[in-house]
Structures are given as structure tokens and as C-alpha cells.
A and B are shown apart, each in its own frame.
Chain A
Amino acid sequence: GAGVSQSPSNKVTEKGKDVELRCDPISGHTALYWYRQSLGQGLEFLIYFQGNSAPDKSGLPSDRFSAERTGGSVSTLTIQRTQQEDSAVYLCASIVAGGPGETQYFGPGTRLLVL
């Protein structure tokens, strides 16, 4: 595709519900990152995929957060039993191969609000 796309663009959910956020990377990009942008924490790394494997999950804040990538393309970030502190913008970025200095191309983000 022309760029990284994310869906939904906005999500409002009730505390305790599960949510799934989707990222469609640029076609042919093998590496994919998830970041979270929140008022208190700024922009922080969550997880990195190379192909369908996630060699770096160090940024996931708790075991309520998980992510997968299938077919080396689409990725889904799942948050179980959402909490109010999960409210944030979740950004996805893709990169051609994951090499040093490569540009990460970001999607528009999913704005999550947990009531």
C-alpha cells in the first residue's frame, strides 16, 4: 500500500473489556514496530517484529498486552482487561529490513480511550 494504515482510528471501550488494534504495514516491509504515545509517558516502544517473530517484546507494559503478526504483514496488538491507564495513541511503524539507520514509517495511530 501507499503507507502504513491502522484501524480503528478511534476506539472507546469500557474498563475490563478486551480490544484489538490492527496495523497494515507498507507492502514488502519486513520489520514492524508498535509504540505507545501517552500524556504521562511520551512515546515509548512496545514490541518489534521481524517477519512473524517478535525478538523484542521488552516494551510491553504487562501481560495484558500481546501482539502477533501473520504472513509477514498485518499485525494485531491486543489489550486484555483494559485499564484507564491504557488510554493512549498506539502507533505502528514499518521498515524495509530493520537495519541500522533505516527510516521507520509511521501510521496515523489508533486513539484508545478506556472509560
Chain B
Amino acid sequence: AQSVTQPDIHITVSEGASLELRCNYSYGATPYLFWYVQSPGQGLQLLLKYFSGDTLVQGIKGFEAEFKRSQSSFNLRKPSVHWSDAAEYFCAVGAAGGYNKLIFGAGTRLAVHP
């Protein structure tokens, strides 16, 4: 069965520090992978997605993610975190055999210290 694991429930970083949020997936075929961000009281906003081609994907707000098939990972990175990046981040896999519904990880809550 398809699944997504985000090992870190909470992460705290200082403003200006680099960030890496981990995501591992279980999926039989080539996955469609997404990172969404949810700010308090808000819906989900797409940061970036991977479905083919270059394994390093650029997204909005200075985020990038790298698809590594050998590690079944799709980690999200940002070189320098801003206080406004404090939010909850969700990794998801699109179930191609299941009408592309998204299967989400549990989320990682990011706190940013000034």
C-alpha cells in the first residue's frame, strides 16, 4: 500500500539557517510527489511537485526538493529560512491508480526562532 512518512513531527530552526524536511514514500511505480504548506488557519498551498524529468525540483518561496528513487525520498530544502516560513509542511504522493487522490504524511511543524 502507498504511504508517506515524515519522520520529524516538529523542527525548530533559527532565522537564516538552512532547512531540510524529510519525506520517505512507499509506492510501487514512479510516484507523483508533492510538498504542500499550511499556515495557521489556512488551506494547503502547493510548494512544488515532481512527476518526471529532473530530480531536483524548484518551487515557490525559495524551496527546492530532490527526488531520490534509490532512497525513496523527496526531501524539502531551503538554504535560508525566514520567520514567515513557520508553518506545517506536508509531503504527499499522488495515487495514480486511485484517481490521483493524495496520500499525505503526518506533517512537520516548523518553528523559526529570530
Do the two chains bind? yes
- Chain A interface residues (CB < 8 Å from chain B): 4, 31, 33, 35, 42-45, 48, 50, 55-56, 58-59, 91, 93, 95, 98-109
Identify which of residues 68-114 in chain B touch chain A, using a CB-to-CB cut-off of 8 Å: 90, 92, 94, 96, 98-107
* CB <8 Å contact, A43 and B94: no
* CB <8 Å contact, B43 and A91: yes
B32 interfacial by beta-carbon distance below 8 Å: yes
- Chain B interface residues (CB < 8 Å from chain A): 32, 34, 36, 41-46, 49, 51-52, 90, 92, 94, 96, 98-107
A107–B103 alpha-carbon span in the complex (Å)? 17
* CB <8 Å contact, A48 and B101: yes
Main secondary structure of the interface of A (DSSP, over half): strand
* CB <8 Å contact, A43 and B98: no
Q: A61 to chain B: closest CB distance in Å?
A: 15
